[in-house]
Amino acid sequence: LADEPTTHALGIDVAGTTLYLTDSRGRETAALVARDLKTGKERVLAEHPKAGFATLIEDRKTHRPLAAAFTHLRQEWQALDPAVEPDLAALRGAADGDFMVISQSRDSQRWVVQYQVDDGPSRYYLYDREDRRAKLLFTADAELAAQKLARMRSVVIAARDGLELASYYTLPVGSDADGDGLPDAPLPTVLLVHGGPWHRDTWGFSLEHQWLANRGYAVLSVNFRGSSGFTKSLLNAGDHEMGRKMHDDLLDAVGWAVDQRIADPARVAIMGASYGGYAALVGLTVTPETFACGVDIVGPSNLETLLQSFPPYWGATRLRFLARWGDPNTEEGRKLLRERSPLHRVAAIQRPLLIGQGANDVRVKQQESDQIVAAMQDKRLPVTYVLYPDEGHGFERPENRISFLGITEAFLARCLGGPYQPIGDDFTGASLIVKTGAEHVPGLPEALRAAGKP
């Protein structure tokens, strides 16, 4: 179980003699490994003490890895073939940002290279290995590139038990006059929690960070224990710690931001999707006075019903959850899952809550949102619930995403005091149904009437 998420095959060389794989067995991080298919002998090609293998550059003809990249805070490349080291050096100096080779010519002498930056869209270059020069081909979105956008900063935050949490934060443009990475005054802040929970946040352009920073908020993303892409110790430290030590990591990161005078402690919101939505519910139920409000997008409220609702064809995924979270088929497991379920702590909620849900979600079914909304209504606690009949686990249709972002920023403005753009025509083409609580979001009742929505 400890190595299941971080050990898998990548490919075989053209001769059919060597298997390349990412492998964390017997080590703390996922290394790039070559395995001789005839003898079974393995050798480590590249590894990193704090991060697992992320991507590679391979020889187009032989499929032999030439370089490997690892991402702790930022991308780090290791040359596996000495002949590639000058290319990596040239690419590091050719443009800003983290890069990856996405295409090669037949002779492998020309590469198409994508550079990801934090304050704009990706840029694509044609790199010639003969003269080691890179020529800009195009920018993914020239209109967006013309805007002055916010920079994302990376930092390692120490959890209370010493675990290192690779984290990222963004400040609004103009809020840091001396450029030291700290705002001139503490800001209203949004803690943006990633899903999974076995995923991770990375440095680079983030639509959510840019949008929220544009509205005057500092934005903080934390790779809490249970996040993938780092050490096995960090990943496995999340086992059976949902709503406990995983939540403590988020609190420690907020505490760091307050100590650094980045965040105004009275104006911090918690927001996320899937596990991030669950984290928002935990934030409002377990630590009801810490956050000014919460935004839960397709987050589970009852871990027992969540695990019992997984479809049959999710056999392997279900086994992972049972092992790492708890088994609802055992008394011990049911006790653990019940204890960590926000549904059973609804009475503790003191702050505003916005919930977004897709009716066709098979991962976190609609009942997860329905039941916590019903429980809050039974206790006469205010909640705003937005349902999308044509969405699943997240909002994919652009019209639906725009509509929920419009509602969210008005909701956050009420809680945190930031500016917001009136909803206006944001509901055009969207399928949203506001099941309850429209009156708690500025301008929402009027916008629904104007759009002819329920």
Residue 361: active-site member: yes
Query: In the sheet where 110-116 sits, what is the strand order?
Result: 98-104, 110-116, 123-128, 133-139
Q: Which of 393, 426, 431, 440 is catalytic?
A: 393
Task: Tell me the helix, strand and coil percentages in the chain, rounded to 5.
Answer: 30, 30, 45
Smallest CA-to-CA distance from 198 within 31, 41, 5 is with: 5
Cα 277 to the chain's mean position, in Å? 12
Q: Which residues contact 219 (CB under 8 A, 6 or more apart)?
A: 169, 170, 189, 190, 192, 206, 208, 209, 212, 213
Rounded CA-CA distance 79/87 in Å is 9
Torsional sign, CA 433, 439, 444, 450: positive
Cα–Cα distance measured from residue 392 to residue 415, given in angstroms and rounded to the nearest whole number: 28
Beta-strand pair 263-273/218-222: unpaired
How far apart CA 454 and CA 448 sit, in angstroms, is 7
Indicate the helix (H) or strand (E) that contains 327. none
User: Alpha helix locations (H) across 202-314?
Assistant: 207-214, 232-236, 245-259, 275-286, 303-308
Angle, helix 444-451 to helix 398-416, in steps of 10 degrees: 160
Distance CA(368)–CA(170), nearest Å, equals 31
3-state SS, residue 215: coil
Q: Check 274, 301, 341, 431 and give the catalytic one.
A: 274
Pairing of strands 133-139, 123-128: antiparallel
Catalytic one of 194, 361, 403, 440 = 361
Please say whether the beta carbons of 193 and 275 come within 8 A: yes
Q: Distance (Å, rounded) from C-alpha 393 to C-alpha 276?
A: 12
Which residues belong to the active site? 274, 361, 393
